[in-house]
Amino acid sequence: MIRELHEKLVTGKVTAEALVHTYLARIDAVDSGDEGIGAFISVDRACALQQAKVVDSLIAEGEHVPLLAGIPGAIKDLINIKDQKTTAGSRMLADYVSPYDATVIEKLRGTHAVFLGKTNLDEFACGGSTEHSAYGVTRNPQDISRVPGGSSGGSAAAVAAAEAVCSLGTDTGGSIRQPSSFCGTVGLKPTYGRVSRYGVIAYGSSLDQVGPIASTVEDCAIVLSAIAGQDVRDATTAHSDGQTYENFLGEDLTGKKIGIVKEFLSDGLDPRVQKVFLDAVEKYKSLGAEIVDVSLPYTDDALAAYYVIATSELSSNLARFDGIRFGSTAQQKDFDSLIEYYKHVRGEGFGAEIKRRLMLGTYTLSAGYFDAYYKKAQKVRTLIRQDYEKAFEKVDFLFTPTAPEVAFKLGDRTEDPLKMYLTDIYNVPANLAGVPALSLPIGTIVEGDVSLPVGGQILGKWFDEEGVLNAGHMWEQSII
């Protein structure tokens, strides 16, 4: 889609300004109100139109512009854009205006991409349904009585509802892939270290990655090319040669080995999702790939290990929200001590799910429990990584359902946190192992008069985004 729009822009069939107006009109039409999608927390029309005008003048001057120039995108409201609010979906940051651009934003500015606005999310990226935001829920564009998934639910819904061409999300334990599966978009969690997190509010620092959401694999590849690369301001980023990922698409899959993980086809999987998935496996066979059965024995332990690590790191990262340098305040009250002030500001500023996770993480890091929880989980993580190392000695990719189910109804899981956490079961191993993982739509399930998307997940070797994107692209092309 980006390539087609780019052709229209550079050949003068449409101006960037007109394109932005089209998307702003779409946002006005579908995003707000009781039955609106609610994908955006904020829309910055002036910023988007200004960026578009720059692109139009560059094109008028005969400049060669990058593929993303003038393309209207949306940014998860966890990522800083200079002089715009970054709320993280929290009351804590209701008035926080970022004094700087995140590295991914700086890189996108270099391509002259257009930022329409900031998208809704579960508070501080903690959740799988985008129901835990201080700014209201986001609805699934395929069926507004259902959740869009989360935590990047706004970013996926914006693309699915044609309110943006592409978007950025973040993925700590499935937060790009699961909403992509629920909304019918394509989403990529890159390898840990592929994309800089500088300027992105941290959740689980040993797990977090920023990645693209779009309507095609090629569009994801184009966005990834723009945002990837080493950054001195994020010491965890790996060396990169500045790949142009979209140039690696179209390679024949004949002879490629694709592993099907038996532990992912277990009891909790909706049989209808299983059928769609197994049909998709047949498609890979017809593309010449060799299907290999694979076992990842520690899969069952991944979810518990993930939640111990993620909540522990969250409790450490969110300690900075103390109402002193930024964020909520409580000027009107008098407190006996600074500690009482902190407790009040944090108790009022954080939502229920964040407080729940902060207490879980504080508990697992506390004296007497650290070895039994955090250290133990880091050991289990070593075993999970070894599972993936062994699997990738035998196969080029792993293919699984992205989620064990289709989008569930709004309100269905909010009363039972453990049940909500279990929705991440197929997603968290990729974050624990650090490997790249792509979700793409592989079919639909009809329920009543709605058609609900099913996602398939392709996992690849560390830093093999080229291969993962190509495997997704070839599947996608085979059904056109």
Partner 1 sequence: MTDITEKDIRNVADLALLSLRDEEVSQYQKDLSSVLGHFETISRVDTDAVDAIGHITGMANVYRVDDAHPCSQEEREALMTNVPSRDGDHISVKNVL
332 binds partner 1 (CB under 8 A): no
**In whole angstroms, what is the distance from residue 439 CA to residue 176 CA?**
8
342 binds partner 1 (CB under 8 A): yes
Minimum CB–partner distance for residue 298 and partner 1 (Å) = 7
303 binds partner 1 (CB under 8 A): yes
Pick from 89, 169, 184, 327 the residue near partner 1 by CB under 8 A.
327
Which residue, chain included where needed, has tokens 């290990």? Answer: 305
- Left if phi > 0, otherwise alpha if psi is -120 to 50, otherwise beta: which for 199? left
389 binds partner 1 (CB under 8 A): no
Pick from 25, 29, 60, 235 the residue near partner 1 by CB under 8 A.
235
Pick from 25, 97, 278, 479 the residue near partner 1 by CB under 8 A.
97
Options 90, 129, 133, 151, the catalytic residue: 151
Pick from 100, 244, 285, 320 the residue near partner 1 by CB under 8 A.
100
**In whole angstroms, what is the distance from residue 385 CA to residue 206 CA?**
13
Give me the DSSP letters along 190-221.
PPTTSB--TTB--SSTTT-EEEEEESSHHHHH
**In whole angstroms, what is the distance from residue 69 CA to residue 19 CA?**
11
Q: Which stretch binds partner 1 (CB under 8 A): 9-17, 44-52, 90-98, 275-283?
A: 90-98
User: At 284, phi and psi to the nearest 5?
Assistant: -65, -40
195 binds partner 1 (CB under 8 A): no
**Residues 125/105, Cβ–Cβ less than 8 Å:** no
Q: Which stretch binds partner 1 (CB under 8 A): 2-10, 142-150, 335-343, 440-448?
A: 335-343
- Name the burial class of residue 72, with classes exposed (0-12), middle (13-18) and buried (19+) by CB atoms within 10 angstroms of its CB: buried
Q: Give start and end residues of each alpha helix (H) in 426-464.
A: 428-433
**Residues 108/102, Cβ–Cβ less than 8 Å:** no
Pick from 262, 285, 333, 343 the residue near partner 1 by CB under 8 A.
343
> Which neighbouring-strand residues pair with 129?
none
Q: Which of 172, 173, 147 is nearest to 160 (CA)?
A: 147
Pick from 417, 444, 445, 450 the residue near partner 1 by CB under 8 A.
417
192 binds partner 1 (CB under 8 A): yes
381 binds partner 1 (CB under 8 A): yes
Q: Which lies closer to partner 1 via its Cβ, residue 259 or residue 327?
A: 327
**In whole angstroms, what is the distance from residue 438 CA to residue 225 CA?**
15
CA distances from 319 to 258, 323, 346, 354 (A): 42, 10, 9, 12
**In whole angstroms, what is the distance from residue 404 CA to residue 400 CA?**
10
**Residues 163/152, Cβ–Cβ less than 8 Å:** no
Q: Which stretch binds partner 1 (CB under 8 A): 42-50, 54-62, 282-290, 301-309?
A: 301-309
Residues in region 440-479 near partner 1 by CB under 8 A: 462-463
375 belongs to the catalytic site: no
**Residues 306/171, Cβ–Cβ less than 8 Å:** no
Residues in region 420-439 near partner 1 by CB under 8 A: 421, 432-434
Q: Which stretch binds partner 1 (CB under 8 A): 44-52, 275-283, 297-305, 397-405?
A: 297-305
What beta strand segments (E) does 113-208 contain? 114-119, 166-171, 186-189
225 belongs to the catalytic site: no
266 binds partner 1 (CB under 8 A): no
Q: Which lies closer to partner 1 via its Cβ, residue 51 or residue 364?
A: 364
Total residues found in the chain within this entry: 480
307 binds partner 1 (CB under 8 A): yes
Pick from 87, 140, 180, 364 the residue near partner 1 by CB under 8 A.
364
18 binds partner 1 (CB under 8 A): no
333 belongs to the catalytic site: no
Pick from 7, 359, 389, 394 the residue near partner 1 by CB under 8 A.
359
Q: Which of 237, 89, 63 is nearest to 155 (CA)?
A: 89
Q: Which lies closer to partner 1 via its Cβ, residue 289 or residue 360?
A: 360
Options 175, 180, 225, 315, the catalytic residue: 175
Catalytic residue ranges: 76, 151, 175
